[in-house]
Amino acid sequence: MQIDWLDPGYYKIRARAKGHWIPIFVYFEDGERDPATWELLSDQRLAAVWAPATNNPSLRRIAPERLFNRAHPCTKGEYEWLMELRRLSRPSLPPQ
């Protein structure tokens, strides 16, 4: 699947229609390097991390191909705000 349109940076997606925004950070991951000269021996590739849980700021890896046609660019400030929302504790609902 083509992901040429995706540049490294900050994005947000919705997991489902009208769901909450999920922050995503897309970056270049280095390929293999020569241990002596630190020269790249293979191409860099896109990688991404996201924080899908609404009450947990820990990042998980995600394949950038899964973001195809769903990712919306956002600013670093908006990304940090979405991450901060995940640090807030939410009261649990009483059992029914």
**The total number of structural domains that make up the chain:** 1
pLDDT at 5 over 70: no
**Residue 4 lies inside a defined structural domain of this protein:** no
Characterise 41 by phi-psi region: left (phi > 0), alpha (psi -120 to 50), beta (else). alpha
pLDDT at 72 over 60: yes
**Residue 90 lies inside a defined structural domain of this protein:** no
Confidence of residue 2 (pLDDT cuts 50, 70, 90): very low
**Residue 59 lies inside a defined structural domain of this protein:** yes
**Residue 58 lies inside a defined structural domain of this protein:** yes
Q: Cα separation of 32 and 40, whole Å? A: 6
Overall residue count recorded for the chain in this entry: 96
**Residue 96 lies inside a defined structural domain of this protein:** no
- Region 45-53: mean pLDDT is 87
Question: According to the model, what pLDDT value does residue 6 have?
Answer: 75
**Residue 20 lies inside a defined structural domain of this protein:** yes
**Residue 39 lies inside a defined structural domain of this protein:** no
Range of the domain at 72: 9-30+44-85
pLDDT at 91 over 90: no
Reduced to 3 states (helix: H, G, I; strand: E, B; else coil), residue 67 is helix
